[in-house]
Amino acid sequence: MRKIQMVDTKTQYLAIKDQVDAAIHEVLDSAAYINGKAVKDFAQNLGSYLGIDHVIPCANGTDALQIAMMALDLQPGDEVITPSFTYIATTEVVALLKLKPVFVDVDPVTYCMDIESLKKAITPKTKAIVPVHLYGQAAPMEEIMAIAKEHHLFVIEDNAQAIGCDYTFSDGTKKKTGTIGHIGATSFYPSKNLGAFGDGGALFTNDKDLAHKMAMIANHGQSERYYHDVVGCNSRLDSIQAAILNIKLTHLDEYSKARQAVANYYSTAFAGIAQIVTPATGKHTTHVFHQYTMQLKNVDREKFIAHLSAKEIPCMIYYPVPGHLQKMFGGQNNQHWNLPVTDSLTPCVCSLPIHTEMDAEQLAYIVEGVKSFFN
Ligand SMILES: *Cc1c(COP(=O)(O)O)cnc(C)c1O
């Protein structure tokens, strides 16, 4: 049996090696390593796939979030509402820009932003909401957009874990996650659902002025060569990564299906185990399973992990410390946020291997390994 990994980027590469190698060599031959044709093509192709007017490639997903917040002219002290139960990048950039992260709770079923918690967190200083489509399914965007409109707030979607996910509005309209808010931000980190062979990220918007501004900020605030209108940064997707992503984008839907098949297999196999809460998908969203994250109820998680580890089955805790309790935000003293769901999920979540190249033998072995803990 092939060694089981959380993510198997090598096997995925081997399956499309000829295409990818040819695309890389094309960039090498062109010598247009920065801002080459592949970057423009990728922005165009991703825009068509998502159904969005503007895609601005950048260096990584964290930069994408930062550039989005810079483009909205948020001022020091402005409040940005975001879940605590997410990867740190989401909240880190808020603090980096001297904005105030306001942590809200998540829904206990979907693990995405909780609407009641969001409503309670709004103050006169609130300027933006950053929902995270955690683990691969959409936050309740229709409700979030309605609240944002009522309070004149910007919405930046953190779509780093959900590219390809579809959200359905109550009138039946479907949109891709990342294209619903004012700005969407994503990451092409190798283990993401659309992963490069290095770092990469992108911003999405239908707003022409915002698109222009974000492109300018990502390029040293430059409007014309050597004319710098605003303070920006240097954040580029390089041509080789764009060429690879161009190939992988054509496989994205089949990759999502492969992930969904793995998730179905696990959930069916674990249905009879009372101590496992398998992941549920919200009503208005598909799920592209960036992670397969279950909850372990009345289980010693350390023992469970050790049991799997002895069988060489990896698993991970996403995330062991929620944002509001990270040392950068005051650590364990920072308990004044009232986030009961986040606090209850953190000690019991556990994510199993999920990727596009898992075979039947590996899946059966993992399921047996998990089941044997409960026998
Ligand atoms: C990966 C990730 C990011 C950051 O992306 P990088 O490309 O690693 O900077 C941001 N938010 C979430 C939710 C992520 O999973």
Identify whether residues 32 and 162 lie together within a single domain.
yes
Where is the domain boundary, 229, 249, 269?
249
Is 170 found in the same domain as 290? Answer: no
151: left (phi over 0), alpha (psi -120 to 50) or beta: alpha
Q: Kindly state whether residues 238 and 261 are assigned to the same domain.
A: no
Task: Give yes or no: residues 28 and 76 share one domain.
Answer: yes
1 in any annotated domain: no
Mean per-residue pLDDT over the chain, rounded: 97
Question: What percent of the chain stands above pLDDT 70?
Answer: 100
Which two tokens mark 138? 């959409």
Q: Confirm or reject: Cβ of 160 under 6 Å from ligand 1.
A: yes
Q: Which residues of 282-317 are buried (b: 16+ CB within 10 A; e: fewer)?
A: bebbbbbbbbbbbbbeebeeeebbebbeeeebbbee
Nearest residue (CA) to ligand 1, atom 14: 160
Cα separation, 343 vs 341, whole angstroms: 5
Pair (17, 99) in one structural domain: yes
Same domain for 45 and 174? yes
Query: To test the ligand 1 pocket, which listed residue (85, 135, 158) has its Cβ within 8 A of the most ligand atoms?
Result: 158
Whether residue 164 has its Cβ less than 6 Å from ligand 1? no
CA 84 to ligand 1 centroid distance, Å: 14
Ligand 1 centroid to 89 CA: how many Å?
6
Tokens of 292: 């397969």
Distance 27 CA to ligand 1 centre (A): 26
Mean predicted confidence (pLDDT) in 132-149: 98
* Domain of residue 337, residue span: 252-374
91 Cβ inside 6 Å of ligand 1: no
Q: Is residue 233 domain-shared with residue 322, that is, in the same domain?
A: no
pLDDT at residue 331 greater than cutoff 90: no
Domain endpoint, select from 191, 218, 249:
249
Looking at ligand 1, which residue's alpha carbon is closest to its atom 5? 61
Per the structure block, which two tokens stand in for 158?
């953190």
pLDDT at 308: 98
Examine the pLDDT at 375 and tell me if it is beyond 90: no
Report the 10 Å Cβ neighbour count for 78: 18
Q: Are residues 65 and 34 in the same domain?
A: yes
Q: Write the burial class of residue 166 (CB in 10 Å: 0-12 exposed, 13-18 middle, 19+ buried).
A: middle
Atom of ligand 1 nearest to the CA of 89: 10
Find out whether the beta carbon of 219 lies less than 6 Å from any atom of ligand 1.
no
In a domain, 201, yes or no: yes
Instruction: Provide the CATH number for the domain around residue 126.
Output: 3.40.640.10
Note whether 63 and 187 are same-domain residues: yes
Is 241 close to ligand 1, i.e. is its CB under 6 Å away? Answer: no
Residues 50 and 189 in one domain: yes
Residue 4: inside a domain, yes or no?
A: no
Q: Which two structure tokens, joined as six digits, stand for 309?
A: 């580890």
Total domains present in the chain: 2
In a domain? residue 107? yes
Instruction: With respect to residue 181, please indicate whether it lies within any of the assigned structural domains.
Output: yes
The per-residue pLDDT for 191 is 97
Which pTM does this prediction carry? 0.97
Here the CATH number for the domain that contains residue 365 is: 3.90.1150.10
Domain-located, residue 2: no
- The predicted-structure confidence for 352-362, as pLDDT tens digits, reads as follows 999 999 999 99
Dihedral angle sign, alpha carbons of residues 217, 41, 141, 87? negative
C-alpha of residue 60 to centroid of ligand 1, in Å: 8
Domain boundary among 191, 220, 249: 249
Note the pLDDT of residue 301. Answer: 97
Per-residue pLDDT band at 333 (split at 50, 70, 90): confident
The reply to whether 142 falls in a domain is yes
Instruction: Please work out whether the CB of residue 86 comes within 6 Å of at least one atom of ligand 1.
Output: yes
Report the pLDDT value the prediction gives residue 131, as an integer from 0 to 100.
98
For ligand 1, whether the C-beta of 237 sits within 6 Å is: no
Give the residue-averaged pLDDT of 82-104: 96
Q: What are 155-204's pLDDT values in tens digits?
A: 999 999 999 999 999 999 999 999 999 999 999 999 999 999 999 999 99
Within-domain flag for 65: yes
Specify whether 234 is located in the same domain as 216: yes
pLDDT for position 332 = 80
Interval between CA 155 and ligand 1 midpoint (Å): 17
* pLDDT in the model for residue 358: 96
DSSP state of 332: G
Distance in angstroms between the alpha carbons of the first and the last residue of the chain: 24
**pLDDT above 90 (res 334):** no
Are 238 and 264 in the same domain? no
Give the number of other CB atoms < 10 A from CB of residue 344. 13
